[in-house]
C-alpha cells in the first residue's frame, strides 16, 4: 500500500500475555518511529530506528518492551508479560531520509484485561 500499515488494528489480551505489534513503513523510508498514546494524552516517544539499528530506544518504559527492524523495513514492537497499564494506542511513523517529514499509521489499539 501507499501508506504506513499497522497490524493488528485492535488487540485484546490478558494480563501476563505476550504481544507483537507490526509496522510496515512506506517503501524506502529509512527512519521508523514507535510512539504510545494513552487516552486523552499526546503521544509519547518509545523508539526510533534509522535503517536496521535502534538509534534511540530511551523511550521504552522498561525491559518488557523490545522492538526490532531486522531488514530495515518492517518493524515489530514486542511486549512481554503485558500489564493493564500497557493499554494504549501504539503508533508507528516513518520518514524518508533527510526530510524529517512524518507519515503515521492508523495505530494499533492494545487493551490488556
Which residues are at the interface with other proteins (CB under 8 A)? 31, 33, 35, 37, 41-45, 48, 50, 55-56, 58-59, 89, 91, 93, 100-104, 106-107, 109
Nearer to other proteins, 83 or 101 (CB): 101
- CA pair distance 112, 93, nearest whole angstrom: 23
For the CB of residue 39, give the shortest distance to other proteins in the complex, in Å.
Answer: 11
Nearer to other proteins, 35 or 65 (CB): 35
- CA pair distance 105, 30, nearest whole angstrom: 15
C-alpha grid cell for residue 52? 536496521
For the CB of residue 87, give the shortest distance to other proteins in the complex, in Å.
Answer: 14
Whether the CB-CB separation of 36 and 43 falls below 8 Å is answered with yes
For the CB of residue 83, give the shortest distance to other proteins in the complex, in Å.
Answer: 22
C-alpha grid cell for residue 20? 507483537
β-pairing verdict for 10-13 and 108-112: parallel
Amino acid at each position: 500500500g501507499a501508506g504506513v500499515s499497522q497490524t493488528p488494528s485492535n488487540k485484546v489480551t490478558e494480563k501476563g500475555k505476550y504481544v507483537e505489534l507490526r509496522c510496515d513503513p512506506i517503501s524506502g523510508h529509512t527512519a521508523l518511529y514507535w510512539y504510545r498514546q494513552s487516552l486523552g494524552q499526546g503521544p509519547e516517544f518509545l523508539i526510533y530506528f534509522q535503517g536496521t539499528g535502534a538509534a534511540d530506544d530511551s523511550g521504552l518504559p522498561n525491559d518488557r518492551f523490545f522492538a526490532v527492524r531486522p531488514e530495515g523495513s518492517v518493524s515489530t514492537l514486542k511486549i512481554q508479560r503485558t500489564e493493564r497499564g500497557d493499554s494504549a494506542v501504539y503508533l508507528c511513523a516513518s520518514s524518508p531520509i533527510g526530510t524529517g517529514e512524518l507519515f503515521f499509521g492508523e495505530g494499533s489499539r492494545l487493551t490488556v484485561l
